[in-house]
Amino acid sequence: MMEDMWKTINIIVNVAANTKFDERYDVALDVNTFGSKNVLDFAKKCEAGDASPCHNWCPTLEGCEVSQ
């Protein structure tokens, strides 16, 4: 099943985040940091399109960067 997904997915939008400011550190780190890393690792395996670039979103567009 994963192989089929890697062959067909060409767009990935990651909007998952934990926005509770009083969340336990380990839970927030797991969701906000490791979750993004898992999405990026998955995207790097996708073959259907250029799903690997990671675009960092920021509302002011100042300090935004695009990394490969």
pLDDT tens for 21-35 read: 898 989 888 888 888
Task: Find the range with the poorest average confidence among 11-20, 21-30, 39-48, 52-61.
Answer: 52-61
pTM passes above 0.95: no
pLDDT at residue number 68: 45
pLDDT tier at 61 (50, 70, 90 boundaries)? very low
E-strand spans in the chain? 54-55, 66-67
CB 18 within 8 A of CB 58: no
What is the C-alpha to C-alpha distance for residues 26 and 14, in angstroms, rounded to an integer? 20
Q: Which residues of 2-26 are buried (b: 16+ CB within 10 A; e: fewer)?
A: eeeebeebeeeeeeeeeeeeeeeee
